[in-house]
């Protein structure tokens, strides 16, 4: 609906007449005996709801009656009634306006984005430090792209992504993660979540109705595969990664894995287990679905290469910038085996017609100029410092604790001495003190009741060293109270 603002003339249809406002059209077609009351009610509700803002000038009664196809008397009567009620105001020779007495609050859109719990100390894992986002370098990349991008590249893109970005990603991933990266097999996606959904649809199209998921593991995998019609089947872990005997017994032909730094336990899949998993995939004509969610962040030795590099026809590989830049960019990549490529690409095409071109072009420039490597080094330094601060704080305030999974990633597993248990009591106490933390049991598929042992998944990337130390102190005071 096109309405004029205060002090403006009524909206015009380009021929000198005022536009019939859509809000009044249903009322104008009401039965003749009820038409007057319907017009008044529709106009009253438009003012109350804010669709007609205070100060909006209404068309003359003659023009609006002509546009609506009703008698001028009905419009005049409606204007007079609503003026008497205070909804409208008028002056001799000055027209009719929406009054200011009724100021309905305009409806506000709700924000359903996940937010931190507002705790005094928040150790919930999964979020990087968003203040490290390289705003200046990213803005420079966007400005350069807007100045240089050919007009034709603003059309619908290749659903796999811009060729230049796929070429840059192939070089980056081969160099940093040891993948076998054919640019023709790379699909630019809206984060690992979309990569997972695409893989779920591709598996379903091949007749697979189940997929193995690590237990404990990420609940996101379960939900996304289930949404694609593929039922998740929990597969337990041992000290080397996914346990082989339960995997063989599960009957699945595809399994999700986080081999570089298992989420949440922090296990790095052993070389022997990697070979065994690949042998299993070949034996069942199946696939390994590798989620490399934090493979770039390894602190005490060189990063473990991606599993995909050992057999790119049996491993689908997914990663994103959610931990290195920001999850709000919704930018990631999927390397697919040839057997799944056509289905994944077609699903990507029908799902969204391709990732936004300007974002792809900006990230391409960011990678090509070395800005992404610099960002990874910056994050690596900051997160190693925070990991060390967390380990030291746990040693100081929870003496006797065991900390594992510290070699990589953005979280650790802290196993507290039994005197702090049982788990439910511990969680109740620290929550009352304003400390948010996730137990390891929350990542398991089957809850076994209150545990005497307290094992926590402690995220640290989003916190400064000072806040880490203060938060662990608060947690210890609450647990000992």
40/42 Cα distance (integer angstroms): 6
386/406 Cα distance (integer angstroms): 11
Predicted confidence (pLDDT) at residue 147 exceeds the cutoff of 50: yes
Please count the CA atoms within 13 angstroms of the CA of 256 that sit on its side-chain side: 35
303/301 Cα distance (integer angstroms): 6
Q: What's residue 423's pLDDT?
A: 93
- By the 8 A CB rule, do 17 and 62 touch? no
* Local structure of 348: helix, strand or coil: helix
The residue-averaged pLDDT of 162-176 equals: 97
Q: Which of 298-302, 428-432, 439-443 has the lowest mean pLDDT?
A: 298-302
Within the chain, how many helices (H) and strands (E) appear? Answer: 15, 17
Residue with tokens 């390894």: 298
The residue-averaged pLDDT of 102-128 equals: 81
Query: Higher model confidence: residue 416 or residue 4?
Result: 416
- Which tokens go with 142? 């966007």
Pairing of strands 411-416, 454-459: antiparallel
Residue with tokens 């402690």: 458
Complete domains list, the chain, with CATH: 22-98 (1.10.10.10), 121-127+377-480 (3.90.1150.10), 132-374 (3.40.640.10)
Triad 286, 288, 290: Cα angle to 5°? 160
Confidence of residue 119 (pLDDT cuts 50, 70, 90): confident
Contacts with 89 (C-beta within 8 Å, 6 or more apart), sequence order: 83, 96, 97, 98, 99
Q: 207 in the Ramachandran plot: left (φ > 0), alpha (ψ -120 to 50) or beta?
A: left
- By the 8 A CB rule, do 198 and 161 touch? no
> Quick one: which of 246, 266, 215, 225 has its CA closest to 444?
215
Q: What's residue 19's pLDDT?
A: 42
The residue-averaged pLDDT of 262-266 equals: 93
Predicted confidence (pLDDT) at residue 55 exceeds the cutoff of 90: no
- Which tokens go with 442? 């929350």
Q: What's residue 95's pLDDT?
A: 86
Confidence of residue 11 (pLDDT cuts 50, 70, 90): very low
- Which tokens go with 137? 């370098």
Q: Rounded mean pLDDT of the chain?
A: 90
Q: What's residue 357's pLDDT?
A: 96
The residue-averaged pLDDT of 130-146 equals: 97
297/380 Cα distance (integer angstroms): 6
Confidence of residue 104 (pLDDT cuts 50, 70, 90): low
> Quick one: which of 200, 196, 166 has its CA closest to 184?
166
Percentage of the chain beyond pLDDT 90 is: 72
Query: HEC profile for 443-464?
Result: HCCCCCCCCCCEEEEEECCCCC
76/82 Cα distance (integer angstroms): 10
Confidence of residue 2 (pLDDT cuts 50, 70, 90): very low
243/152 Cα distance (integer angstroms): 51
The residue-averaged pLDDT of 79-85 equals: 91
> Quick one: which of 123, 131, 103 has its CA closest to 459?
123
Predicted confidence (pLDDT) at residue 304 exceeds the cutoff of 60: yes
Predicted confidence (pLDDT) at residue 117 exceeds the cutoff of 90: no
Predicted confidence (pLDDT) at residue 20 exceeds the cutoff of 50: no
The residue-averaged pLDDT of 191-203 equals: 97
Predicted confidence (pLDDT) at residue 129 exceeds the cutoff of 60: yes
- By the 8 A CB rule, do 192 and 291 touch? yes
Percentage of the chain beyond pLDDT 70 is: 94
Predicted confidence (pLDDT) at residue 15 exceeds the cutoff of 50: no
Q: What's residue 225's pLDDT?
A: 95
363/377 Cα distance (integer angstroms): 17
CA distances from 236 to 240, 258, 372 (A): 11, 13, 36
Q: Which of 90-94, 180-184, 258-262, 331-335 has the lowest mean pLDDT?
A: 90-94
The residue-averaged pLDDT of 282-311 equals: 91
The residue-averaged pLDDT of 392-398 equals: 97
Residue with tokens 């008698």: 71
Burial class (CB in 10 A: 0-12, 13-18, 19+), 84: exposed
- By the 8 A CB rule, do 318 and 290 touch? yes
- By the 8 A CB rule, do 331 and 190 touch? yes
Note the residue count of the chain.
481
- By the 8 A CB rule, do 103 and 54 touch? yes
Most confident listed range (44-48, 91-95, 125-129) = 125-129
Q: 465-480 and 371-397 helices cross at what angle (nearest 10)?
A: 30
Predicted confidence (pLDDT) at residue 210 exceeds the cutoff of 50: yes
Predicted confidence (pLDDT) at residue 393 exceeds the cutoff of 90: yes
387/125 Cα distance (integer angstroms): 13
Predicted confidence (pLDDT) at residue 266 exceeds the cutoff of 80: yes
Confidence of residue 227 (pLDDT cuts 50, 70, 90): very high
Burial class (CB in 10 A: 0-12, 13-18, 19+), 312: buried
19/13 Cα distance (integer angstroms): 5
């Amino acid at each position: 609906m096109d309405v004029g603002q205060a002090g403006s003339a009524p909206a015009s249809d380009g021929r000198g007449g005022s536009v019939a406002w859509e809000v009044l059209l249903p009322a104008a077609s009401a039965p003749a005996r009820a038409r007057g009351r319907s017009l008044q009610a529709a106009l009253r509700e438009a003012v109350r709801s804010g669709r007609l803002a205070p100060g909006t000038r209404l068309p003359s009664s003659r023009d609006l009656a002509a546009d609506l196809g009703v008698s001028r008397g009905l419009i005049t009567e409606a204007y007079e009634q609503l003026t008497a009620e205070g909804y409208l105001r008028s002056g001799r020779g000055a027209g009719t306006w929406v009054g200011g007495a009724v100021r309905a609050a305009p409806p506000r859109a709700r924000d359903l984005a996940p937010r931190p719990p507002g705790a005094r100390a928040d150790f919930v894992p999964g979020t990087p430090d968003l203040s490290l986002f390289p705003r200046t370098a990213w803005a420079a990349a966007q400005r350069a792209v807007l100045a240089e991008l050919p007009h034709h590249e603003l059309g619908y893109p290749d659903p796999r992504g811009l060729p230049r970005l796929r070429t840059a990603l192939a070089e980056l991933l081969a160099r940093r993660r040891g993948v076998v990266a054919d640019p023709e097999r790379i699909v630019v996606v809206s984060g690992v979540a979309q990569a997972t959904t695409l893989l779920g649809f591709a598996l379903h199209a091949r007749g697979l109705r189940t997929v193995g998921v690590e237990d404990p593991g990420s609940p996101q995998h379960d939900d996304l595969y289930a949404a694609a019609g593929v039922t998740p089947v929990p597969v337990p872990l041992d000290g080397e990664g996914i346990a082989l005997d339960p995997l063989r017994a599960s009957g699945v032909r595809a399994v999700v894995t986080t081999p570089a730094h298992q989420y949440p336990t922090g296990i790095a899949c052993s070389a022997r287990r990697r070979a065994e998993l690949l042998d299993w995939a070949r034996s069942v004509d199946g696939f390994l679905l590798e989620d490399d969610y934090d493979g770039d962040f390894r602190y005490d030795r060189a990063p473990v290469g991606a599993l995909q590099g050992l057999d790119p026809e049996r491993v689908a590989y997914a990663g994103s910038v959610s931990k290195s830049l920001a999850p709000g960019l919704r930018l990631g990549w999927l390397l697919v085996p040839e057997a799944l490529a056509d289905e994944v690409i077609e699903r990507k095409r029908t799902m969204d017609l391709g990732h936004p071109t300007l974002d792809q072009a900006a990230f391409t420039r960011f990678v090509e100029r070395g800005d992404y490597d610099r960002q990874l080094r910056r994050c690596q330094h900051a997160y190693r410092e925070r990991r060390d601060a967390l380990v030291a704080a746990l040693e100081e305030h929870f003496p006797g604790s065991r900390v594992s999974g510290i070699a990589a990633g953005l979280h650790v597993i802290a196993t507290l001495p039994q005197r702090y248990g049982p788990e439910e009591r511990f969680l109740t106490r620290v929550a009352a003190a304003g400390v948010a933390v996730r137990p390891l049991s929350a990542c398991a598929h089957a809850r076994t009741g209150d545990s005497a042992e307290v094992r926590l998944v402690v995220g640290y990337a989003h916190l400064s060293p000072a806040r880490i130390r203060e938060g662990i102190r608060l947690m210890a005071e609450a647990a000992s109270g």
